[in-house]
Chains A and B, each alone.
Chain A
Amino acid sequence: MTDADRALLARRPDLAAIAGWVAPDSRILDLGCGDGMLLRYLWEHRRAYGYGIEIDDANVGACVRNDVNVLQMNLESGLSSFQDGSFDCVILSQTMQAVRHTEEIMSEILRVGREAIVSFPNFGYWVGRLQVLAGRMPVWGDLTYQWYDTPNVHLFTIKDFEDLCAKLGVRIRERVVLNNGKPVHTLPNLRGSMAIYRCSAR
C-alpha cells in the first residue's frame, strides 16, 4: 500500500469496506464520485472498471486529471442513461443524504446494478444526539458541515435506512458500521458514526 493509498483510506474510512465488497474485474458505477479517487483505487486494487457521475465542475476536472471515466450529470436524472443491469455494483458513497428523491434513487441503482453499496453518516450517533440535546445541529468527524452550508437534505439513521430497505423490498446482504474508522459491533445505531451497506434487489 502506498502513502497515497494510506492518506486516501484515512480520508475515506468507508473505502476499505467498499473495496472489500467489490469483486475483481467487476463493472462499477460511482454516484457522486467526487474527485474520482474511489474509482481510481478500485481500478488499481480490484481492476474494477466503470464510470463516475458527478455534477461539480472542480470534481469533474479532478476526475479527468485522475484518469477515471466521469460523466457530468445530475445523478438523479443521469441514471436514465444506463440500461438495466449495466453494472455489477453501483456505489453511493456518502451521497445518499444529499439526494432529493431517495426512494427513486434506491430503485434506480438497483435497476442499473445487480448490487448497491451505500455508505452514509449515521445521524443516530451518540455525539450527534448529545449535540441535538444541547440544542445544536450535529457536527462530528464524518459530518463536518454546519447547518447553513450543508449539502445534506435528508438526515437519517441506521434504523431509518433499514426501515426504508424493508419498505422498498431491498435485501441487505452485509453491513459494516464504523466509529471514526473502527468497526462497531454493539449498539451500532448509537456508537457508529458511519454505516456501509451492501444491498441487492430481493
Chain B
Amino acid sequence: MNAPQFQPGSVGIVKPQKARFDSPIHLKGGASLPAFELAYETYGTLNAAKSNAVLVCHALNAAHHVAGVYADDAENVGWWDNMVGPGKPLDTNRFFVVGVNNLGGCHGSTGPMSLNPATGKPWGGDFPVVTVEDWVQAQSKLADYLGIEKFAAVMGGSLGAMQAMQWTLSYPERIRHSLVIASTPKLSAQNIAFNEVARQAITTDPEFHGGNYYEKGVVPRIGLRLARMLGHITYLSDDAMMEKFGRTLRSGALGFNFNVDFEIESYLRYQGDKFSTYFDANTYLRITKALDYFDPAAEFDGDLSAAMARAKAAFLVISFTSDWRFAPARSREIVRALLDNRRVVSYLEIDAPHGHDAFLMDDERYMNAVRAYYGNIDL
C-alpha cells in the first residue's frame, strides 16, 4: 500500500476536535444556551509566547475543516487548503491556525441538530437565531480554552470577513490584524432579498415542519437544494459563468422538454443535490439571518466611521472587481471608515473575473499579497 500522497504544502492528515463550555452563553437575540460545544481544527504549533495564533472564520457553507484531509477520507480537502499550509500564504510553519465551526452550525458544534437539554430532543426550529457577534463571542471562549490571549490575525472571506471585522469591535485588545476579504459592512436590500428567497424555499418545503423535521426522519431537501442553487448564481460573475458553461448543451441538442438542456442547469442541480445531502436546513436559515443582521454601524445611527472607532487592529481589506454580491464599493466603505479613524489599513482591489468566489481562488496577486502581509506580522 502506498502512503497517502498530499499536494505540496498540505498540512496533511488533520483531526477535528471538540471543546465543551459549561457556562452559559448569552446571545444577542436575548436567548442563552446553558452550555455549548465547538468543533475546531488546528494546524501548526502555538509558539511559547502564544503570539502566532490566527483564527480563520468560515462563510456560509464551510466549517472548521480549513486545510488538510482526514485519515479516513482523503477526498475531503479543507475549504481553504490553497491558502493555509506549510509554505502557503498563511504559512503553518510560522503560524498556529485555528478553524472553528460556528455556533448553530451542522458540522459538530452546538446547533439545531444538537439535543436541547430542556427537552432531550433536537433543538430543531427552537434553536435561537445567532448573529456574527454571537459567533465571535463563542470564538473568544475557544481562544480562552486554547490559551490564546491575543490573535496575531483573524481572517475570513465574505461572511467570514464579517467575523474578522467584528473581532476588532468586540475584542479590540485581542486581535492585532484583521484580514477582511470580499466583504461588506452590511447587506444591501438585494443581498437580503436573495437570502429571503433561499429561506422561503426551505420553510415552504412540505418536509420542513417548522424546523422539527429530524423527529419525522425527513429533510426539506427540495428547499435546501433550491436555496443552494440560488446561492451559486450569486457567487459567480456573469462572465465567469459564461466562460465556464456558455450555452453548452448537455446532450448536444435541445430536448424540447423540461429536463436538463444546458450545462449550467446540470451544474446547479448537481451543486444543489450535493449540498442538500450534507448541510442542515435549520443551520442554513440561521446563517442567512446572521448575514442579514450584521450591521456594526446600526447602533451608531448608521455611521460606520463611529462604529469602527473602537477597532485597534491593522487591516488588510481585499475586494474583487467582478464580485457583484459584495462589490468593491462595499469594501471601500469599510476602508473609508478606517481612514476616518486613521487606522492602519491597506486595500487591494483585485481585477479577477470569478465573482464573489474569487476569494477562494488562486489569483497570484491576491495570494502573494496575503503571503506578504503575513510575512510582515511580527511574532
Contact = CB atoms under 8 A, between A and B. Distances in A.
Decide if A and B are genuine partners: yes
B369 A71 contact: no
Q: Which of B316, B332, B346, B348 has the most A CB atoms < 10 Å from its CB?
A: B346
A57 B368 CA distance: 11
B372 interface: yes
Interface in A37-72: 51, 57, 60-61, 63-65, 67-72
B149 interface: no
A72 B375 contact: no
A67 B344 CA distance: 11
A72 B340 CA distance: 17
Given A57-B351, A70-B347, A71-B335, A83 B369 contact: no
Contacts of A64: 316, 346, 348, 369, 372-373, 376
Given A61-B369, A61-B372, A65-B375, A72 B339 contact: no
A109 to B, nearest CB: 16
Contact of A73 (B349, B350, B365, B373): B349
A81 B372 contact: no
B247 interface: no
A160 B373 CA distance: 42
A70 B346 contact: yes
A64 B376 CA distance: 9
Contact of A63 (B342, B345, B346): B346
A64 B369 CA distance: 6
A67 B177 CA distance: 13
Interface string A74-92: 0000000111001000000
Interface string B255-289: 00000000000000000000000000000000000
B336 to A, nearest CB: 5
B219 to A, nearest CB: 44
Interface residues of B, number: 22
Contacts of A60: 348, 365, 369
Bin chain A's interface residue count.
10 to 19
Contacts of B332: 73, 81
A37 to B, nearest CB: 15
Given A69-B344, A72-B348, A72-B349, A61 B335 contact: no
Interface string B220-248: 00000000000000000000000000000
Interface in B348-379: 348-351, 365, 368-369, 372-373, 375-376
Q: Which of A63, A70, A72, A86 has the most B CB atoms < 10 Å from its CB?
A: A72
Contact of B347 (A72, A82, A86): A72
Contacts of A83: 340
Contacts of B351: 57
Contacts of A73: 332, 347, 349
A61 B367 CA distance: 10
A70 B347 CA distance: 6
A65 B348 CA distance: 13
A82 B336 CA distance: 7
A156 B324 CA distance: 41
Nearest to B333: A81
Interface in A173-188: none
Nearest to B342: A27
Nearest to A62: B372
B368 A61 contact: yes
B346 A71 contact: yes
Contacts of B373: 64
A52 B346 CA distance: 9
Contacts of A27: 342
Interface of A: 27, 51, 57, 60-61, 63-65, 67-73, 81-83, 86
Interface of B: 316, 332, 335-336, 339-340, 342, 344-351, 365, 368-369, 372-373, 375-376
Given A64-B348, A67-B376, A82-B339, 15 more contacts: A57-B365, A60-B348, A60-B365, A60-B369, A64-B372, A64-B376, A65-B375, A69-B344, A69-B345, A72-B347, A72-B349, A73-B347, A81-B335, A83-B340, A86-B339
